[in-house]
Structure 1
Amino acid sequence: MTHKMGFRTGEFARICGVNKRTLHYYDEQGIFSPDHVEENGYRSYAVRQLYPFIMIRMLRQMGLDLSEIKSYMAARSPERLEKLLASQEEWLQQELRRLQDMKRMVENQRAILVHARSIVCDRVVVEEMSAMPLVYSSPVRAAMVAEDWNRVERIIMEHMRYILTNGLNTGYGFGALVARDDFLTTGQETLITRFFTLTDKSLEHVPAEIAAVRSAGRYLVTYFKGDYMDTSAAYGRLRAYLAAHPEISPGPYSYEESILEDLSTADPDEYITRIAIPVLP
């Protein structure tokens, strides 16, 4: 009698990094069966089955349904394998881009947390800031003047939906733009012109009317703790600084940006917001 070399179920399972139940299930479903069953009922797997099973497990880990794997295994051929692998390669490229985006988001969030440790609140300084792409929401000031808070919420939701749908969230804060005439007028500093989201993604495919860049250069900056909607004291400091330094000409907008918010702390009193006003040359 010819002796057939192979592995018993437990040994084959250990080599492939699965449990015996997985092999039994694959056999029951007609996806992957032992090479032969011995007279005593023991299942035996051949050496040549190792690589195919490893590939099947890899395809499963890449999200391929068991029904798709079963369909392929029932009528496998080099041509069908080529087509299957091509589709999985495309899926992997998408997954790699998704993971790279997630890594970028984590890196940016960690950098913000590191920066937060060195922040001194409630003072005004001049800082050099780098250029940063951003995406605007629809104009919101008229809705705020009318106290149409439902409209304001819809604008925020539409903006965030656009950011998330187009993969533009890279871990930077959600912010608000306030016009110079408003932030220089006591009591009007809460009138937001537009909301925005900073991003380090390309804005090539973003409509021109909502794509912009926060320019590089000198900014008048203050940080404050607490409710990010209560900006009056912070703008009061900025106005006082401008009054004391008439040589400084503020730009057309201020940029309000959350540094620490409810993702990083459960205590609203610990929120940190930055307000930055570009200094005109």
Structure 2
Amino acid sequence: MEETNIKYFTTGELAKLCKVNKQTLFYYDQIGLLSPVFKNEKGYRYYSIQQLEFFTVIDLLKDLGMSLRDIRYYVVNKSPEKFLSMMYQQREEIAKQRMEIEMKERMIDTKIDLMQKASDLNFSNITLEKLPEQTFYLSENIENITDDTFFEVLAGFIDELYESYLDTGDPIGSITKREQIVKGEFTNYSNLYMLQRNPKKGRSYFKMGEGYFLIGYHVGAENTLHSTYERLLSEMERLNVTLGDYVLEEFIYDNVVQNSEDQYVTKIMIHVHL
């Protein structure tokens, strides 16, 4: 190697600076992503200070989910304009990831809060409560649909919640209209919903006005829900209140926290008129 004031790094030195093992640099050389400036007569690789910066960019792009294949495509076709365009794209990706992380953080906080509150509940109690106005994001109508169609609606609803950053961590609930309750069709739901604590502008929501609800809890599988509904309807008669416009249902405990359906807990909130 000629005497020069230019400083070069061995593979081991660059690997240490980049906090990777030497095999990573060997692989990058093999696929044409980051090759040494030169190799001496013994085959030792030498890298420049500029390549340290380039490795930092490669590492950044990898962390953002860009494949080595796409990064190599840029390496082969690089230019200042393409680099700037790539950086703009990656900045948008970071903004998207930040929104996803913030949504997941809200989801975790909500689930912690709900689970802590659930531990204080007496599931045998029936209470008459005045609930404040609440805002829900609804699925499309699911009355009288087949199981296959229900799966499609549910999958689409979950995707929409996630992609639109509307998943608050609250349980996905279901709304049943008054007509179905009167007919005893307690599980013929009209829509799925998710509570929106801070509704986003530009979205269509269902606003549930302030009102009174008879609230009870069903412990067990869905196919035994009717027994709890019958108990709630009997309590309505005793309290001399009448059925309102709809009923809300949502899981308190499901297969996320319980292994047996017999231990599932469903919260039932019947809108009533005093």
TM-score (norm 2): 0.84
Q: Residue 264 in 1 paired to residue 260 in 2? A: no
Aligned to 2:136: 133
> Distance in 2 between the 1:164 and 1:215 partners?
25
> Distance in 2 between the 1:218 and 1:228 partners?
25
> Distance in 2 between the 1:115 and 1:173 partners?
14
Alignment of 1:206-221 (within 5 A): 206=204, 211-221=205-215
Query: SS of the residue aligned with 2:223?
Result: coil
Aligned to 1:179: 177
Aligned to 2:218: 224
> Distance in 2 between the 1:83 and 1:181 partners?
57
Specify which of 83, 86, 106 is matched with residue 84 of structure 1: 86
Structure 1 position 21, deviation (Å): 0.8
> Distance in 2 between the 1:76 and 1:231 partners?
63
Structure 1 position 95, deviation (Å): 2.2
Q: Residue 152 in 1 paired to residue 146 in 2? A: yes
Report the number of matched residues: 265
> Distance in 2 between the 1:229 and 1:177 partners?
17
Of 122-131 and 254-263, the range deviating more from structure 2: 122-131
**CA displacement, residues 170-191 of structure 1 (integer Å, 9 cap, x when unaligned):** 4332333333355356xx1535
1:133–1:212 CA contact under 8 A, matched in 2: yes
> Distance in 2 between the 1:4 and 1:53 partners?
19
Aligned to 2:192: 196
Query: AA paired with 1:158?
Result: E
Summarize the Cα distance change of 1:174–1:155 in structure 2 as closer, same or farther, 3 Å threshold.
farther
Structure 1 position 17, deviation (Å): 1.6
Query: SS of the residue aligned with 2:4?
Result: coil
Query: SS of the residue aligned with 2:252?
Result: strand
2:214–2:269 CA contact under 8 A, matched in 1: yes
> Distance in 2 between the 1:164 and 1:191 partners?
20
Query: AA paired with 1:234?
Result: T
Summarize the Cα distance change of 1:166–1:276 in structure 2 as closer, same or farther, 3 Å threshold.
same
**CA displacement, residues 35-60 of structure 1 (integer Å, 9 cap, x when unaligned):** 33234432222223222211111112
Query: SS of the residue aligned with 2:99?
Result: helix
Of 52-61 and 188-197, the range deviating more from structure 2: 188-197
Aligned to 1:255: 248
Structure 1 position 215, deviation (Å): 3.1
Of 74-83 and 14-23, the range deviating more from structure 2: 74-83
1:126–1:218 CA contact under 8 A, matched in 2: yes
Query: AA paired with 2:169?
Result: G
Of 46-55 and 105-114, the range deviating more from structure 2: 105-114
Query: SS of the residue aligned with 1:172?
Result: coil
Query: SS of the residue aligned with 1:177?
Result: strand
Query: AA paired with 2:269?
Result: A
Specify which of 46, 49, 54 is matched with residue 48 of structure 2: 46
Aligned to 2:9: 7
Specify which of 113, 116, 123 is matched with residue 114 of structure 1: 116
Query: AA paired with 2:236?
Result: L
Summarize the Cα distance change of 1:136–1:86 in structure 2 as closer, same or farther, 3 Å threshold.
closer
> Distance in 1 between the 2:84 and 2:150 partners?
46
